[in-house]
Structure formats: structure tokens, C-alpha cells
Chains A and B, each alone.
Chain A
Amino acid sequence: DAKTTQPPSMDCAEGRAANLPCNHSTISGNEYVYWYRQIHSQGPQYIIHGLKNNETNEMASLIITEDRKSSTLILPHATLRDTAVYYCIVRFTSGTYKYIFGTGTRLKVLA
């Protein structure tokens, strides 16, 4: 089963880009990379997902390396409301595609 590793914490200045890395070196060819974030005492919020190509939406950009062994979530202009725990998840596709959460990265955006 693929697993992910993320740095436990990061700081980012308000207005700057936040780049959150994730390693998933054992990912298989048909597994997606998903990113969620969790603000204190709330359920996780979907951010973005991708398979091979880089993806962008109104919240963030996802950069996946060519070998797919790592990815980076980019918040282009971080705000204080982006302070949260960010989870990178590789979605298992066997059976019922369950999502297994790793430890995540606690991002603190500083004023």
C-alpha cells in the first residue's frame, strides 16, 4: 500500500506562496494524489487531486513529479485563514478505495 510522508510543520508569511511537499515513493500507476486540509475541530476540506498532470483550481495548484514519487501543493497567496493541517493522501483503488490519512503538515501562516 502506498504511504505518504510530509514534514510535520511549516510556517509561511501572509501573502507569500506556501509550498507543501509530499513524498509517495511507492505510489502505483492508477492511484491518485489527493490533498485535504483540516481547520481546527472541523472535518477535512477537499483541496485538489491529480494523477499525472499538474492541476490548478481556485484554491491551489498541485505539481506532481514526472516519476510520480512526490508532489507539492502550492497555495499562491497564503492568508491567515489558510492556517490548518494539510494532508496528502494516496487513494487506494483496491476494493472500496478507502482513504488513509498520514500525519499531515501543520501550516501556520504568519501575519
Chain B
Amino acid sequence: GAVVSQHPSRVICKSGTSVKIECRSLDFQATTMFWYRQFPKQSLMLMATSNEGSKATYEQGVEKDKFLINHASLTLSTLTVTSAHPEDSSFYICSAGRGVTGELFFGEGSRLTVL
């Protein structure tokens, strides 16, 4: 099956710093990628839709200036958590849609801990 890879899988940072998470589709081109966050024992919450070569579309309540998304190529999207605070600690998951039916493949997730 298709593979989507995220890096890093775990990151710990100090409050006030910025953290970048990469999402790559390894064996297919993804014009659309999605970013989710997940708190413990909760479901995945869609944060934004990332389209190659254009601005991301953010879900209601998600701060676009805090969560910067860049989709510069058909195989790479990045999420940057700017000026991170402890409440930003979460599990961040990316996904990429493939083909006409848009079947979604998910990365392994990145666990962010802000001290």
C-alpha cells in the first residue's frame, strides 16, 4: 500500500520555540494533504487542508498564524507550530489523498511535547 512518512516521530521543545513537522508521500504524488491533531483518548480533529502550490484551508477555530502549513511539492507538506506552548502538546498526524477516489493514507504521527 501507499506510504506516508512523518518526521520527527517525537519532539520535545521549550515553550516559545517553533517546531516543524514534515509529511512525505513516498510512492505517490499528493496534491492534497491533511493535518490532524489528537489529544489523549480523543478522536482525530482536522486542522487544515493543504493543497500543493496554494494556501492551506484551516478549519474553524484553528489559528493559521500559529500552525503554519506549507505544501511546496507534490510529495511534501510541513506543519510548523510557532511559539509553542504546553497546551500545544499533542499527537499530530498527516494524511495524503491518492488518485481520483482520494483514498487517504496516514503517517505514523508526531508526538509533540512542549515544556
A residues engaging B (CB < 8 A)?
32, 34, 36, 38, 41-46, 49, 87, 91, 96-104
Interface size on B, residues (CB 8 A): 27
With contact pairs A96-B57, A103-B43 given, residues A91 and B102 touching in the complex (Cβ less than 8 Å): yes
**Across chains A and B, which 5 residue pairs bring their CB atoms closest together, nearest first?**
A43-B106, A97-B102, A101-B44, A44-B106, A101-B43
Q: B4, B43, B105, B107 — which one has the most chain A CB atoms within 10 A of its CB? A: B43
| B interface secondary structure, majority | strand
Structural contact, B43 and A104, CB atoms closer than 8 A: yes
Closest chain-B Cβ to A71's Cβ sits at a distance in Å of 17
B104 at the interface (CB under 8 A from A): yes
Taking CB as reference atom, which chain A residue is nearest B108? A43
With A44-B93, A46-B104 in contact, is A98–B34 under 8 Å at CB?
yes
A100 to B104, CA, bound (A): 12
What is the bound-complex CA distance between A102 and B34, given in angstroms?
16
